Amino acid sequence: MGLLSSIKKGMGGEEQQMPPTSPPAQTEEARREERATPDRIRVGHVHLCGCTGCVVALTDIYQGLFKVLDDYVDWVYGTTIADVRRIPEMDVALVEGAVCLQDHEQIQDLRTTRLQSKLVVAIGSCACTGNILRFSRGGQVNQPQHESFAPISDLVDVDVHIPTCAPTPQQIRNTIVMAYLLLKGTDDQKALAGRWLKPMMDLARTPFYQKASFNTLMQEVINQGLCMGCGTCAASCPVRAISMEFGKPNGTRDLCINCGACYAQCPRSFFDHDLMEQHESIMELIQGAMAPK
């Protein structure tokens, strides 16, 4: 899909050089999954070390999921909800979970995903920042030697982040709608969707964000003199580790699971005035795109 690579160029991302791959042998199973879907983008869900909460969040779009599967997305891979065994070529690969460095099959899956996908989207904090798996020390049945878990950006380039534990259905919905508008929308819609996606692509390329925790909010917002005590971080924290003391955030770092929600949601991490001035029409656009036929 030439559009996607031109978008990545336009967004400042490096175009992935696709190595010449011989087409996979067509088994009966692979042929049956193949359908003619010219208008939809090929999306798959690759499951590494995650709790399945992210893909459950995707299904929590409820009726919207039917709209997505009918009109926007051809679901080509996803061991949880689609019966395909081999990772196919994809336009967008949603990767859930951190990668276990002792699991060679998993590393191979991640490598294959990167090589065969136009866009790799880290969905959920395990894939984006390592999340709670950062605290794993191994020792569990039945693979006690599985002890080091890294965000996927440690091994492959990631194009878009959808952080938080678990990611919200609304953020996944907005990402899908924006990705679709980028591909199929009018010129104005393409420009809008590009602006919307840019910060999420920037997060994926920001080294400090790949290791995000409350400390990131502290170092990049509070210590930089940018915090104005709005309380967004406290509302964002999935483990209620942040309280507001005399109008400023205080993080209980023993509770922090390194999900990066507070930094990503903070209005002083990134904020696009031009985009936000259009908040009303953006919300109408998203609701319109998700409205049932």
268 touches another protein (CB under 8 A): yes
- Considering only 26, 280, 292, 293, the residue that binds another protein (CB under 8 A) is 280
174 touches another protein (CB under 8 A): yes
194 touches another protein (CB under 8 A): no
- Considering only 228, 254, 258, 291, the residue that binds another protein (CB under 8 A) is 228
Region near another protein per CB under 8 A, out of 26-34, 75-83, 88-96, 219-227: 219-227
151 touches another protein (CB under 8 A): no
Place of tokens 């929308």: 185
Torsion angle defined by CA atoms of residues 78, 55, 93 and 190, in that order, rounded to the nearest 10 degrees: 130
Cβ neighbors of 129 (< 8 A, separation 6 or more) are 151, 163, 209, 210, 211, 212, 213, 258, 259, 260
- Whichever of 90 and 218 has its CB closer to another protein, that residue is 218
CA distances from 25 to 13, 22, 176, 267 (A): 32, 9, 31, 49
Interface size with another protein, residues (CB under 8 A): 54
Cβ neighbors of 14 (< 8 A, separation 6 or more) are 8, 157
Site string for another protein, 47-76 (x = CB under 8 A): ----------x-------------------
Can you give the length of the chain in residues? 293
Place of tokens 């999306």: 43
Least Cα distance to 238 among 256, 216, 219 occurs for: 256
Region near another protein per CB under 8 A, out of 15-23, 98-106, 150-158, 238-246: 238-246
Region near another protein per CB under 8 A, out of 79-87, 114-122, 147-155, 267-275: 267-275
CA distance 180 to 221: 32
- Whichever of 116 and 124 has its CB closer to another protein, that residue is 124
35: tokens are: 């359908």
Question: What is the distance, to the nearest Å, from the Cα of residue 157 to the centroid of all Cα atoms in its chain?
Answer: 13
Region near another protein per CB under 8 A, out of 27-35, 132-140, 144-152, 157-165: 157-165
- Considering only 148, 168, 215, 250, the residue that binds another protein (CB under 8 A) is 168
Under the rule (CB under 8 A), what is the footprint of another protein? Answer: 57, 162-164, 167-171, 174, 196, 198-200, 220-221, 224-232, 234-238, 244, 246-248, 261-262, 264-277, 279-280, 282-283
